[in-house]
Chain A
Amino acid sequence: MIEFKGVSKRYGEVVALEDVDLVIDKGEVVVLIGPSGSGKSTLLRCVNALETPDTGTVTFDNRVVQRTDGDVSELRAQVGMVFQHFHLFPHLTALGNVMLAPRLARERDEAHARALLERVGVADKADVYPDTLSGGQKQRVAIARALAMRPKAMLFDEPTSALDPEMVGEVLAVMRQLAGEGMTMLVATHEMGFAREVAHRVVFMDGGRLVEIAPPDEIFSNPQRKRTQAFLSKVL
């Protein structure tokens, strides 16, 4: 469903991605782990053309992702994105946030939007503005918003890193549920418990490279690479 082929990206001297090859199947949950600056965000952002690789190609559903493509908006609508800092629209209510994209695409489906808020457990907050929500509630509204266009895949960029510890669980629960429903997910996170439990495969990144790719039970109990071992011994 999502395919990276020889993807590299630099910012001046900084290597963000180096020759990345990765195929993510439909319904698969892939978790990206790795130290800060290892390229996790950049990798995610290449999928919906927030970043453009210097070399190599990213394909989504057999279509090459290109920022200059006239249909890039249509492609982006098929990929939900959840950010570390939520980026809810402050001038719209929770429901307004979820409804904006469908409304502009002329799919005025308020029932669907309300059902999504229900699904992430914030139905009672439909009519409030984001500044009165807790961090966990904000992120759950953001997930509902990302689901509003009925995407085929979801990208999560450290969705719990900006949350107070007591709110991490409620967001991960929503993500776990999504994974259980067969959503294709690419998740950058420092939540090793979530990776162990939900991921089909875990990718360890360092210096823009995919250092090791393995199912969670293998990578956590028996990492093959030295750098993976060093990283895991620090975070586990």
Chain B
Amino acid sequence: MGREFATRVGLTVLFLAALTAAFARSPYEFDFSPIWAFRVRFVKGFLCTIGATALAYVVGLALGVLVAIARLSKNIFIRHIGDFYVEVVRGTPFIVQVAIAWWGIASQIEGVESRFIVGTLALGVFAAAYMGEILRAGIESVERGQFEAAVSLGLDRRQTLQYVVFPQAIKRMIPPMTGELIALTKESSLLFTIGVVEMMSVAKDMKAKDLATLEALIFVAVLYLVITIPLSLLARRLERKLGEGRRSGVDLL
């Protein structure tokens, strides 16, 4: 572990050096200094991105639980509502959904003014379709025999779910749920299209003023990586810890 980690850090530094050298040789004159003038807005945008993502994640989780319950329901009507929701949300781009949510719906309603809240809710509704699927798949991945063994011992349905099915399902859900948080962080950049002041919108503003467009975009990319790389490392760690991602004996390639 220690040795592999050191190698990884070394390689990363090497890649960064190579990238920097490549940029330095390009005819384009890099000038990151205009970004400094926008520093307060970048900090606000950064916090806005984190806030919108976190809130949307919570909304998505709550709705996602309902979606999973609906899709696992024995009642065909309820199940169909769940299927319909998932298909519609996953089958359309978020940029279209958020536009409909704001321009089409929220802005028509008197008293609704916060683009942040509307955008975040839209993001939550979007996330729920994916998270609901992760939750459903996690529960369905627990084999039928586990359920049968539990009820055969005299556990009722609730106890069986709580003590036998969920503990196993949750283990399998955690890695993809962390992945979903990463995806959501990136997806939140589309909130700039309805005027939410998150990171991407600051870069957009700089472009509008013809200031260091490429530099601003590179800077935004780095800010996203500051959020997503730790999450990605966390996901891998959890996966290893939970033993589900244990390396098989087979080495591919």
Contacts and interface: CB of A to CB of B under 8 A. Distances in A.
Contacts of A85: 145
A138 to B, nearest CB: 12
B155 A101 contact: yes
Contact of B149 (A78, A89, A91, A149): A89
Contact of B156 (A73, A100, A146): A73
Contacts of B152: 48, 50, 76, 79-81, 146
A85 B145 CA distance: 8
A91 B171 contact: yes
Interface in B143-168: 143, 145-146, 148-156, 159, 163-164, 167-168
Contacts of B156: 73
Given A74-B154, A145-B153, A91 B145 contact: no
B248 to A, nearest CB: 14
Contacts of B153: 76-77, 100-101, 145-146, 148-149
A83 interface: yes
Interface string B167-185: 1100100000000000000
Contact of A87 (B149, B159, B163, B171): B149
Contact of B168 (A79, A90, A149): A90
A77 B167 contact: no
Contacts of A77: 153-154
A147 to B, nearest CB: 10
Summarize B's interface: helix, strand, loop or mixed: helix
A105 interface: yes
Given A87-B145, A89-B149, A101 B154 contact: yes
A104 interface: yes
A77 B164 CA distance: 16
Interface residues of B, number: 18
Contacts of A100: 153, 155, 163-164
B176 to A, nearest CB: 18
A77 B152 CA distance: 7
B247 to A, nearest CB: 15
Nearest to B148: A50
A64 to B, nearest CB: 18
Nearest to A91: B167
Interface string B114-153: 0000000000000000000000000000010110111111
A73 B154 contact: yes
Most A C-beta atoms less than 10 A away, residue of B143, B150, B153, B171? B153
A89 B162 CA distance: 13
Contacts of A105: 154
Nearest to A101: B153
Contacts of B168: 89-91
A79 B152 CA distance: 8
B155 A73 contact: yes
Interface string A124-157: 0000000000000000001001101100000000
Most B C-beta atoms less than 10 A away, residue of A50, A91, A145? A91
16 contacts: A48-B152, A50-B151, A73-B155, A74-B154, A76-B152, A78-B154, A81-B148, A87-B143, A87-B149, A89-B150, A89-B164, A100-B153, A104-B159, A148-B153, A149-B153, A149-B154
Given A73-B156, A100-B155, A104-B159, 17 more contacts: A50-B152, A76-B152, A80-B152, A81-B152, A83-B148, A85-B145, A87-B145, A89-B149, A89-B164, A91-B167, A100-B163, A101-B153, A101-B155, A104-B155, A145-B149, A146-B152, A148-B153
